[in-house]
């Protein structure tokens, strides 16, 4: 079973966000035992040129690249470089999800171009085609309302909630929000389950992971490299400052 196939399984799979762009931190996170790692091109410090060195440093975990927007050329490059999957933010309709799938998949399902000499195929030494994992981020009231339709799209594997954006969207457009945040979590989890898909969430160490798992969230990303280092530094400084 490939790492991509494993990520489609409905059991607890722990990840974390890589926002510094550092291959050293990527290598350390990989060695620490996470099941999957997210290279963040939306809000992270790293640029596109820093993706490949991080992918090369990740040898055990499944490497997912979050693009800032569903640009087909960037999605194709990240997959050719060896990413196991792609996360796309603000997937609010089934049509948007379908467009993302087409950018990730080869014909006849999609429009991605095929090159056998790329890193994803061990530079031409391997021939087997692996279908990438698609994390569709649900971050808006509209996305929650369309969660069942998004989950039903062939090629969507994970419904992944962006908690900060979703909570901000609920607060910003109260006239459109028929559900509170907790109810939105339940709605997305139910949509994923009904379609035979999995769901995930970016969490903090202080969040109740057991309660989230009970709701059906199996793909939990715990903190980011920046927040882990920030809290580590603060814990060093605080007692010494009195």
Instruction: Please give the CATH superfamily to which domain 3-241 belongs.
Output: Phosphoenolpyruvate-binding domains (3.20.20.60)
Place of tokens 């006239």: 175
186-223: per-residue pLDDT in tens? 999 999 999 999 999 999 999 999 999 999 999 999 99
- Contacts for 171 with CB less than 8 Å, ≥ 6 apart: none
Q: What are phi and psi of 170, to 5 degrees?
A: -60, -45
Q: Do 64 and 84 touch, CB atoms closer than 8 A? A: yes
- From the list 159, 206, 165, the residue with the least C-alpha distance to 186 is 159
Catalytic annotation on 219? no
Catalytic-labelled residue, pool 43, 71, 148, 219:
43
Rounded CA-CA distance 220/170 in Å is 22
pLDDT of residue 209: 94
> What is the residue-wise DSSP string for 175-206?
TT--S-HHHHHHHHHHHHHHTT-EEEEEE-TT
Helices 181-194 and 163-172 meet at what angle, rounded to 10? 120
Any idea of the CA torsion for 142, 205, 52, 112, to the nearest 10 degrees? -30
User: Longest C-alpha distance within the chain, in Å?
Assistant: 64
93-107: per-residue pLDDT in tens? 999 999 999 999 999
Has residue 6 got a pLDDT over 70? yes
Residues 165-178, mean pLDDT to the nearest whole number: 95
pTM of the model: 0.96
17-44: per-residue pLDDT in tens? 999 999 999 999 999 999 999 999 999 9
185-194: per-residue pLDDT in tens? 999 999 999 9
pLDDT of residue 183: 98
> How far is the CA of 71 from the CAs of 27, 28, 139, in angstroms?
27, 29, 18
Give me the residue spans of the domains in the chain.
3-241
pLDDT of residue 130: 86
């Amino acid at each position: 079973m490939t790492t991509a196939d494993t990520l489609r399984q409905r059991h607890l799979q722990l990840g974390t966000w890589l926002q510094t762009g550092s291959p050293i931190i990527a290598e350390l996170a990989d060695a620490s035992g996470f099941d999957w790692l997210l290279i963040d091109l939306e809000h992270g410090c790293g640029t596109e040129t820093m993706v490949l060195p991080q992918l090369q440093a990740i040898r055990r975990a499944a490497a997912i690249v979050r693009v800032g927007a569903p640009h087909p050329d960037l999605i194709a490059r990240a997959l050719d470089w060896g990413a196991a999957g792609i996360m796309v933010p603000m997937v609010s309709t089934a049509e948007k999800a379908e467009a993302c799938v087409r950018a990730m998949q080869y014909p006849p399902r999609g429009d991605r171009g095929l090159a056998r000499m790329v890193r994803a195929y061990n530079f031409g030494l391997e021939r087997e085609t692996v279908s990438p994992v698609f994390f569709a981020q649900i971050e808006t009231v509209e996305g929650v309302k369309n969660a069942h339709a998004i989950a039903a799209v062939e090629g969507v594997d994970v419904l992944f909630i962006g908690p900060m954006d979703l909570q901000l969207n609920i607060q910003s457009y109260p006239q459109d929000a028929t559900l509170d945040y907790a109810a939105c979590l339940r709605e997305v989890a139910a949509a994923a389950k009904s379609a035979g898909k999995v769901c995930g969430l970016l969490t903090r160490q202080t969040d109740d992971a057991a309660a989230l798992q009970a709701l059906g969230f199996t793909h939990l990303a715990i903190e980011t490299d920046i927040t882990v280092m920030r809290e580590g530094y603060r814990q060093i400084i605080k007692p010494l400052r009195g």
